[in-house]
Structure 1
């Protein structure tokens, strides 16, 4: 079993459980619509018991949003380093990694869109810094594939692809989808199609 597979199958810690339920509840009801007692009940402990793990809801929100930005960047760097072959293979790996996030962590996408401004300035700046570094991984890879495209166009296209992939919280209920693998394949084709427009003079 690979280290990544082992990490995926490892039993979640109590902190992990708390964060997962906090993300779900915050996404469903909004940050201010959820109390500490509700988060505690979701993981089978008392509300005050949460304070052994986190000083409060603000700390949970910060760890969720800073944490996912850090994991995306770390995962992207790993994929760039470990993927053999041409830049097209690296791009495929980056897209696959982001699709895994977009399908498996939908509440965090909603949370980021709605609650990022609630973070204290230092945490919000850290999230933005990590995100900029993640964007650069994509921009550098896409520019290798489309060297004639203007950097501004490449950057805009990468952000557009993120918007496309991060639309998963708005997709129909999972029961109506064609299955995870088919949905992932569709998102992959759409992402590549969007970036392929960079090879067309004038973008059309």
Structure 2
């Protein structure tokens, strides 16, 4: 994914603080005034940027799903090498998300059902497309793997990588060490597809 160097806009600052507060205290446990105070503006001033908390939540969850999908597509298009390189790049991108956007993972898990139906469907559609992007690459790397099996493996790896919020503030052993650990675990999970196939082919 592209690394930004310019300062975040006020709208982006609001979304970042809203995600943090929603993750800490839940959607209904946070008021507009608190979000405003976190970015140095009055609560009513937020309405120049968002219609309300519901709009913030929708932009957070639809937005991160869009960014994951677009980032995944860019990585798949620009990775140098075969499917192994593409999968490695996808894993690295998702690790960045899992470490940099931990509050959003929590908000998604807790608050997705609070979105209006059209926004929730948009999130689900984007997520399915993101999963299928990975499934295609996994099956290119492991051509004898059934589609259903590859999809299950992708979901399992997402569950692994997205577990970072549950480790607690003292649970991560440092950014670099955590990246290495998650990368090894993710690659190991996909490598197990080939070993599982080989084991299944052995006679009793």
Q: Same fold (TM over 0.5)?
A: yes
User: Retained in 2: the 8 A contact 1:91–1:141?
Assistant: yes
Tell me how far apart the structure 2 counterparts of residues 186 and 200 of structure 1 sit (CA, whole Å). 21
What TM-score comes out, normalization by structure 1 length?
0.94
Mapped partners of 1:172, 1:66: distance in 2: 25
- CA change 1:136–1:45 in 2 (3 A) is same
Which ranges of 4 or more aligned residues in structure 1 deviate by more than 6 Å? none
Tell me whether 1:97 sits opposite 2:93 in the alignment: yes
Describe the SS at the equivalent of 1:186. helix
Partner of 1:179: 174
Determine the C-alpha separation between the residues in 2 that align with 1:156 and 1:180.
Answer: 28
Structure 1 pair 24–203 and aligned structure 2 pair: CA distance change class (3 A): farther
The question of whether the paired residues in 2 share the 8 Å contact of 1:146 and 1:199 is answered with yes
Q: How many positions carry a matched residue from both structures? A: 199
SS across alignment from 2:20: helix
Aligned pairs (5 A) from 1:141-160: 141-160=137-156
RMSD in angstroms over aligned alpha carbons? Answer: 1.4
Shift of 1:203: 8.1
Q: Which runs of 5+ in 1 are unaligned?
A: none
Cross-structure match for 1:195: 190
Instruction: Give structure 2 stretches of 5+ with no counterpart.
Output: 200-204
Q: How does 1:132-147 map to 2 (within 5 A)?
A: 132-147=128-143
Compute the TM-score of the two structures, normalised by the length of structure 2: 0.94
| Superposition map of 1:26-37 within 5 A | 26-37=22-33
| Contact 1:39–1:47 (Cα < 8 Å) also in 2 | yes
SS in 2 for 1:48: helix
Q: What SS does the aligned partner of 2:2 have?
A: helix
Deviations 1:109-144 (A, max 9, x none): 000000000000000000001001100110000001
Aligned partners of 1:197 and 1:203 also within 8 Å: no
Match in the other structure for 1:121: 117
